[in-house]
Structure 1
Amino acid sequence: MPTAVPTPAHTPTPTPIAVIGLSCRLPGADGPEAFWTLLRDGVDAVTDVPAERWDADALYDGDPAAPGRTTGRRGGFLGDVSGFDPAFFGISPREAAAMDPQQRLTLELAWEALEHARIVPAALRGGRVGVFIGAMTDAYATLTHRQGLEGIGSHTLTGLNRGVIANRVSYLLGLRGPSLTLDTGQSSSLVAVHSACESLRSGESDMVLAGGVNLDIVPDCFVAATKFGGLSPDGRCHAFDARANGFVHGEGGGVVVLKRLDSALADGDRVLAVIHGSAVNNDGGGQSLTTPDRSGQEDVLRLAYERAAVDPALVRYVEAHGTGTRVGDPIEAAALGAVLGGPSRDAGLPLHIGSVKTNVGHLEAAAGITGLIKVVLSLVHRELPASLHFATPNPDIPFDELGIRVRTELGPWPHAAEPDAPLIAGVSSFGMGGTNAHVVLGEAPAGTPGPTAAGAPEGDVRQLPYVLSGRTEEALRAQAGRLLDHVTDGPETAPADLAYSLAVTRTAFEHRAVLTAGDSAQLVAALEELVAGRRGGVSVSEGRLAFLFTGQGSQRAGMGGELGEAFPVFGAAFDEVLTHLDPSLREVIASGVGLDET
């Protein structure tokens, strides 16, 4: 565990919070695996504004003072924000059309995060599960109101209400915990994570989903950022670099599933990382409403590490707010150096910092959750990716004096003075109104469940069942396609773990298929047939389960023996049945002697 530091009498013993699942939809990265590939490969996912969004050339003007014009023509965009399967979530097409796409995206992210945590969503119904989502923009409301009063319909009120972004998830899953949409500006999603952790620590919630969303579907945000003076004219985030000239818009979102660490361990959950502590404050006002204040940032950092009972000298990396602005970068660097850097660092071991905004842009309300997911993935893979577009250090930042260094290459975490010391990192996110948040993260404790699912069969298994389902036949084939991509191009997964996860940790929908395979080649071939429609599934309606005993006697001697050896659960159930009949029947069944073969 991290080295503890003395804490004041009023500071309670920190309760570690486990991150047990996550999901994300980001520019150039649909899901955690794709996001890690993007980070690992140092990809800049910022592009020109897609033509289907708006005519960027028509709105462009090099003069930031030009009325109704913007200096920005680039940003981090999702490939499709209109695609949504309303029937999957029990929503009518008419209501879905009236819903803010941020509501739709949050529903998808919440479902995917629970699947990543290996939790069947229906199992949470009626439970004390909280939902905390950060959001700050109303772009869809802007589009709706442009239609005039005639554009208001029966679903407009709920479709555009920002609070419903979190409430939709609670309603869909039947959750009884707190359900809040938080708006603290650009720090919203990290404040949501902090609030979620506090709900867990107080016992108000037994599990929480926390995250944030942001979509740039109208050009108004680009024009507003230009007039504010914060938008980068060259469309690149040069965090902590001498070329820092403003931030770059980005869109997307992410959700994490959180539990108290002791509960996660007791339940056998896979722990990805641990949140040791967090803090939120307001800087109380700098030179202006939107100018960050160094002392306020220092205070939130000190409070976070005090509450986490973690020595700041153990921190190896901080995912900075890092917007790439001339004013903000030097202030943030100075605060990090004062609290986490300087002479308290081990000799030759500076604090590494970076900013995911250099990869995907500034996701504003979803910026903090994006940075947190980046750090969780870095802890899981035990590698730190590079922060992009850093060539010449900002002359207003005395890096050596502060004891900090921008991470510029992919590689292992910096070695600590104690090689066995756990990996510790921080994540910062700041709102333009002065609301600051910082989260202290660490790697999962040794011995916690890893990639192999608890209860999955081990050893040489000749054939395994792979269970797939969807609400429609098309959805079933789409699921098969996703699994095919995972098997052929994704990270290597133990066959037994894959089969177990599909059978036990996924919702069983109406259209189903079970593929049996003894190796990956057989599984790929079966999946290809299902995707192409050469193999079909079955449609299952709700009903009671029944067993039919044909009365024909034995089929062959020793039937079921190999099954019992390969699958201990079946073997144990079989043994239990024999104890109620006659244990000697095992020998009879195995040999076939004495069985009625008529």
Structure 2
Amino acid sequence: MSDLTDARTYGRHEPVAIVGIGCRLPARIENPTGLWQALLDGVDAVRQVPDDRWNVTAWAAAEASGGAANRRGGFLDDVAGFDAEHFGIPPAEARQMDPQQRIALEVACAAVEDARRSTASLAGTRTGVFMGAMWQEYPLFTQGAAEAIHAHSAIGWDNSVIPSRIAYALGLRGPAMGVATASSSSLVAVHLAVQSLRSGESDFALAGGVNLMLHPNTSVAMTKLGTQSPDGLCRAFDADGDGYARGEGCAVVALRRLSDALADGDRVYALVHGSAVNNDGATDGLTAPGHEAQTEVLRSAWENAGVAPSSVAYVEAHGTGTPLGDVTEAGALGTVFGPGRPAPLRIGSAKTNFGHLEAAAGVLGLVKAALAVHHGVLPPSLHFRTPNPRIDFSAERLDVVTEAAAWPDGPRFAGVSSFGYGGTNAHVALGEAPGSPSAPAAPDEGGPVCLAVSGTNPDALARNAARLAEHLGQAPGTSLSDVAHALATT
């Protein structure tokens, strides 16, 4: 009879360490180093809809129905490329996979590698996968063409398969859960991953979200809903805020209990001290934000963290730039974080850089805040010129970050908010990693360093080499010896 006493119970409030980050974002961002530089530089990645995304006829029909307010968004350069051979996926099956599945699989692997682990090392382990996704546009391309539907289509089109696809490819034995709470999906996924780690259900976790814009229908629908800015600029908390542009991308974080991360000497970007999820319930409308529920989710997350809200220096806001959304969110922030503050709460929104990544927006905000905590710098929020007169910034004790600034003195605590238009709200409480003695640097002898780069075929090898070169170019101070060691062991 097996020993059942090894079902360990872990502390409900143990911090969870962010030990790895994978991302693929507009402006050709494919790693956290590139993302951090883009944030510091104030990059606005919103642009015209690429010609290869959808055709003029489709747009003409949308405009005729009054649905196309703008032709801008935060687009990835390539959503079709996929190294199916690397994952052992037959070409016929790969063609039926929604590009969201393909990209999520690749970015999840990047998060594992950024955590300085090989994907093979996780096979058979209690690693959980929690992924948010929202739209299912890929099947629209088969309408009226039954011959295009394949035996692999059902699995390839199903968003709930995204985490299972990752678990299957890497041989992971923890829970694999898809999350669909609209814009809050990926931050709810992080919340679930933290719970899984704290309960002992998982020993390692991957959490994130993915969002692509493959067909004009959703953009037309969101425009008719009234969320889209006519010029594609998200002006969060600004007097001229009139919505946002949609965005696409994927981000995944690798998570461990802090005690395990410290025992193994992991690099830690930031700590998740607490999190909370709730719903607006009955408000003025299904999509109308709720001040009371937002206030409750903020307060609950920091109570879960055991940290006074007045100690929090920065919140990465939901920040959509919509007139009602910004006013409601600012009121909730002021209610929870305003009392007893020594200085105003700094706030910002990554939607001003990349558009609204919808199901992936929450985890993008989490990564931005984690990098800010890690580097001790607050990156700017864009397009803020005139404070929204419906928000009393002085009374609410709020201040939008418009220029990169050093983190205020004291412990680094940051919040991240993400609110779904169906009413599901999420907030995560972050803090800085504990100080740890750095490993002695390897002697720099000024000689050549061998960097091992692999690929399943010559084209894949060339792509991987190009990505490595780009990464090194973005991080000139990187130790080549450390890179060589990481490449040799992952």
TM range (shorter): over 0.9
Contact 1:428 1:437 in 2 (8 A): yes
Partner of 1:535: none
Check 1:26–1:448 CA distance in 2 against 1; reply closer, same or farther (3 A cut).
farther
Q: CA deviation at 1:464?
A: 4.5
Instruction: Measure the CA separation in 2 of the matches of 1:77 and 1:318.
Output: 26
**Structure 1 residue aligned with 2:456, among 471, 476, 489?**
471
Q: CA deviation at 1:72?
A: 2.1
Query: Is residue 405 of structure 1 aligned with residue 390 of structure 2?
Result: no
Pairing 1:482-501 to 2, within 5 Å after superposition = 482-501=467-486
TM (norm. structure 1) is: 0.77
Partner of 1:71: 69
Pairing 1:250-399 to 2, within 5 Å after superposition = 250-341=247-338, 343-346=339-342, 349-399=343-393
Pairing 1:113-262 to 2, within 5 Å after superposition = 113-144=111-142, 146-262=143-259
Higher mean alpha-carbon deviation, 69-78 vs 365-374, is at 69-78
Q: CA deviation at 1:74?
A: 0.7
Check 1:266–1:188 CA distance in 2 against 1; reply closer, same or farther (3 A cut).
same
Q: CA deviation at 1:468?
A: 2.6
Q: Secondary structure at the match of 2:18?
A: strand
Partner of 2:6: none
**Structure 2 residue aligned with 1:87, among 85, 88, 95?**
85
Q: Secondary structure at the match of 2:182?
A: coil
One-letter code aligned to 2:379: P
Q: CA deviation at 1:134?
A: 0.3
Q: Secondary structure at the match of 1:108?
A: helix
Check 1:202–1:173 CA distance in 2 against 1; reply closer, same or farther (3 A cut).
same
Instruction: Measure the CA separation in 2 of the matches of 1:298 and 1:307.
Output: 14
Q: CA deviation at 1:472?
A: 2.1
Check 1:468–1:229 CA distance in 2 against 1; reply closer, same or farther (3 A cut).
closer
The aligned length equals: 479
Partner of 1:51: 51
Instruction: Measure the CA separation in 1 of the matches of 2:337 and 2:480.
Output: 44
Instruction: Measure the CA separation in 2 of the matches of 1:372 and 1:62.
Output: 34
Q: Secondary structure at the match of 2:172?
A: coil
Q: Secondary structure at the match of 2:295?
A: helix
Instruction: Measure the CA separation in 2 of the matches of 1:249 and 1:16.
Output: 33
Partner of 1:595: none
Instruction: Measure the CA separation in 2 of the matches of 1:448 and 1:218.
Output: 50
Partner of 1:22: 21
Instruction: Measure the CA separation in 1 of the matches of 2:458 and 2:50.
Output: 32
Instruction: Measure the CA separation in 2 of the matches of 1:43 and 1:222.
Output: 23
Q: CA deviation at 1:353?
A: 0.5
Q: Secondary structure at the match of 1:14?
A: coil
Q: Secondary structure at the match of 2:369?
A: helix
Q: Secondary structure at the match of 1:439?
A: strand
Partner of 1:429: 418
Contact 1:72 1:222 in 2 (8 A): no
Q: CA deviation at 1:380?
A: 1.9
Partner of 2:5: none
Q: Secondary structure at the match of 1:22?
A: strand
Check 1:237–1:57 CA distance in 2 against 1; reply closer, same or farther (3 A cut).
farther
Q: Secondary structure at the match of 1:344?
A: coil
Q: Secondary structure at the match of 1:186?
A: helix
One-letter code aligned to 1:17: V
Q: CA deviation at 1:150?
A: 2.7
Instruction: Measure the CA separation in 2 of the matches of 1:188 and 1:350.
Output: 29
Q: CA deviation at 1:496?
A: 2.2
Contact 1:19 1:271 in 2 (8 A): yes
Check 1:489–1:119 CA distance in 2 against 1; reply closer, same or farther (3 A cut).
same
Instruction: Measure the CA separation in 2 of the matches of 1:35 and 1:459.
Output: 28
One-letter code aligned to 2:420: G
Check 1:98–1:193 CA distance in 2 against 1; reply closer, same or farther (3 A cut).
same
Q: Secondary structure at the match of 2:252?
A: strand
**1:340-370 residue CA offsets vs partner (Å, 9 max, x unmatched):** 11x3101xx1000011000000000000011
Return 5+ residue gaps in structure 2 as ranges: 1-10
Instruction: Measure the CA separation in 1 of the matches of 2:319 and 2:271.
Output: 23
Query: Is residue 443 of structure 1 aligned with residue 432 of structure 2?
Result: yes
Contact 1:285 1:434 in 2 (8 A): no
Check 1:368–1:487 CA distance in 2 against 1; reply closer, same or farther (3 A cut).
closer
Larger Rg computed on CA atoms: 1
Higher mean alpha-carbon deviation, 26-35 vs 193-202, is at 26-35
Instruction: Measure the CA separation in 1 of the matches of 2:471 and 2:208.
Output: 25
Contact 2:137 2:215 in 1 (8 A): yes
Instruction: Measure the CA separation in 2 of the matches of 1:61 and 1:157.
Output: 29
**1:248-292 residue CA offsets vs partner (Å, 9 max, x unmatched):** 100011000000000011111111110000000001121111100
Q: Secondary structure at the match of 2:238?
A: coil
Contact 1:319 1:427 in 2 (8 A): yes
Q: CA deviation at 1:71?
A: 1.1
Q: Secondary structure at the match of 1:279?
A: strand
Check 1:267–1:385 CA distance in 2 against 1; reply closer, same or farther (3 A cut).
same
Check 1:187–1:486 CA distance in 2 against 1; reply closer, same or farther (3 A cut).
closer
One-letter code aligned to 1:23: G
Partner of 2:3: none
Q: Secondary structure at the match of 1:470?
A: coil
Q: Secondary structure at the match of 2:334?
A: helix
